[in-house]
Every structure is written in C-alpha cells, then in structure tokens.
Amino acid sequence: MFICKYFVFFIIYSFIGWIYETIYCTINEKSWQNRGFLYGPCIPLYGVGATLAQIIFIDLPFDVVHNASYVGIFFGCAIGSFFLEYGTSYILEKKFHARWWDYSNMPLNINGRVCLPFTCCFGIAGIIVTQIIIPPIMSSISYIPAVVIELFALIFMFMFGMDMALTISALTTFAKDFERINEQVNTQMAEYVENIQTSLEDAKLARIEKSNERKEAAFVKRELTAEKIAEFKEQLSTEAVKQWIMNATETQRGQFRHIAKFTHPVGSTKQLLEKGSEYLRHKQNR
C-alpha cells in the first residue's frame, strides 16, 4: 500500500509536470509540443522531484523539515533539482547520445545541463508545489479506498512500463538506423569520388593541365571536385533522412521533434540526426 500510494502520487505529479512543460513550450514555440522523455503525457523528472518534496517537507515526522520555512524549502528544492536535473541529463546523454534540454545559451550554466536561473525557478516552484498543489491532492487521495489505490497503481505501472518500453525501443532503433544511413552515405560517396575521376569535368580539365597553367588547373579541379562532392553528399543525406522519416513510427517522430541536442560520438551521424530533427520541427511548424 505504501509503495502503491507513492507511485500514484508520482504519476499525478509527472502528469502535472507534463501539462506545465507542454503549455510553456507550446506558447514559446507557437506550435504544439509534446514534451518529455516519454512519449505519453508523463515527465518522470517532475514526478520524482515533487514526490521527494512531499516526502521530505510534508510526510517525514521531523520538525526541522516538516515545519521548514519558505527559505528552507526554496534551498532544499533548488539544490535537489540541481542534482536531479544534472544526473538525469547525464544518464540520458550517455545512454542515448541526446539531450532533451540544453541550457548552453543560459547564463551560469554547467555543461548545458543545469543553470542558475532555472535552478532558482525550481526552488520557487518547490514552495508552490509543497504549499499549494500537494496538500489538496493528498487530501483527495485520502478519501479513496486502499484497494482502489492499489488498482490505480497497477494500471499506472502497466501504462508507464509500456510507455517506457516504446520510448526506449524508438530511441535505440533510430540511433542504429542513422548509423546505418551514415555508413550507406559514406559508401556511396566513396564510389562517387572514384567515379568522378573519369567524369567529363576531368576530360575538360585535362586540356588545361597540358598548358603552362598547371597550378591554376589543379586549383580549379580541386575546387570543382570539392564542391560537387559536398553537393552530392548533401543530396544523399537529405534524401536518406527524408526516407527514414517517411518510414518511421509516430513514436519515433514524436521523440525526434523535441530532442534539443544530439551528442552522437560520430560527427557525420550526429549531423544526420540533427538534420532529421530539424526537418521534422520545420515540417510541424508549417
């Protein structure tokens, strides 16, 4: 019963966090934004933070935290959010080579994972949550029979688990897909570079190379080849990304739209991922 009750609280707070984040980002981006790591209407980071705040500042029978001042709640929630947000960002990036938020453009940030302005905002939010939001939710839950709470917890666990499985599957699959696309593009580029040596441009430049202007001819050839290679690679990668997006599931597209930054260790694969994400965002905003 104890675990079930807190899991229900966790889901409720995760849902409220999703509502806040979605409204804020939708207004900011001027288009619908389904925010969060999971595909469903749930942001676990908010759920964990609010549940911990409830346990520490409301449920624990210690006067030092149970009767904490607003200043104490502010610093407690700010410091807690700092470690929670940084740790979550670090784990997600190491696991999926992507960031769902990036504070690199914000002042006083640490590796783009946390920043002082938002840490202070979370501290203020902690006061609002513990004093205004949590009490009526706890009061409402107290009227629900224990067996119903357990039933809700089981249903939420099933839905949460399914959402988690779908999300991780989507993230793992598209990362591997783009690694495969990158290999295909590189293979085609190698073939193209080999074939371009016998192209019409080389035939034309051969006449120039016979003259005394060999340096100029070599420069023209090098620039022409580099330009054509860059153009061909851009065309290949764009078509490959568009084809993948056409065949992708809605779960994969949903994840792709709101990943803020890719950190794939292979630069060319990272560029493909960013191109796909930008293409989907642009397509959604039109």
Burial class (CB in 10 A: 0-12, 13-18, 19+), 47: buried
Four-residue CA torsion sign, 88, 89, 90, 92? positive
Please tell me the total number of residues recorded for the chain in this structure.
Answer: 286
Q: Indicate if the pLDDT at residue 165 is higher than 90.
A: no
For the segment 250-267, what is each residue's pLDDT rounded down to a tens digit? 777 777 777 888 888 888
As a whole number, the mean pLDDT across the chain is 83
Range with the poorest average pLDDT among 67-76, 158-167, 214-223: 214-223
Number of helices and strands in the chain (H, E): 11, 4
Q: Mean pLDDT over residues 18-26, rounded?
A: 86
Q: Mean pLDDT over residues 145-160, rounded?
A: 92
How far is it, in rounded angstroms, from Cα 161 to Cα 38? 10
Of 175 and 119, the one with more pLDDT: 119
At 236, the pLDDT band (50, 70, 90 cuts) reads: confident
What percent of the chain is modeled with pLDDT above 90? 38
How far is it, in rounded angstroms, from Cα 99 to Cα 117? 19
**Cα Rg of the chain (Å, integer):** 26
CB-based contact 160:244 (threshold 8 Å): no
At 125, the pLDDT band (50, 70, 90 cuts) reads: very high
Amino acid present at 173: T
Q: Indicate if the pLDDT at residue 268 is higher than 90.
A: no
- pLDDT for 259 equals 83
Q: Indicate if the pLDDT at residue 30 is higher than 80.
A: no
Structure tokens at 107: 């002042």
Q: In this structure, how many other beta carbons lie within 10 angstroms of the beta carbon of residue 71?
A: 10
Q: Mean pLDDT over residues 216-243, rounded?
A: 69
Q: Mean pLDDT over residues 215-244, rounded?
A: 69
Residues 107, 109, 114, CA angle at the centre, nearest 5°? 130
For the segment 32-68, what is each residue's pLDDT rounded down to a tens digit? 777 777 777 889 999 999 999 999 999 988 877 778 8
Q: Indicate if the pLDDT at residue 87 is higher than 90.
A: yes
CB-based contact 149:108 (threshold 8 Å): no
Structure tokens at 20: 């806040």
Four-residue CA torsion sign, 249, 37, 115, 129? positive
For the segment 166-215, what is each residue's pLDDT rounded down to a tens digit? 888 888 887 788 888 888 887 877 776 666 555 545 555 555 555 555 55
Of 224 and 130, the one with more pLDDT: 130
Considering 21-25, 158-162, 222-226, 259-263, the range whose residues carry the highest mean pLDDT is 158-162
Amino acid present at 103: Y
Q: Indicate if the pLDDT at residue 218 is higher than 60.
A: no
What percent of the chain is modeled with pLDDT above 70? 84
- pLDDT for 203 equals 52
Q: Which of 79, 39, 91 is nearest to 256 (CA)?
A: 39
Q: In this structure, how many other beta carbons lie within 10 angstroms of the beta carbon of residue 84?
A: 18
pTM for the full predicted model:
0.79
Q: Mean pLDDT over residues 81-109, rounded?
A: 92
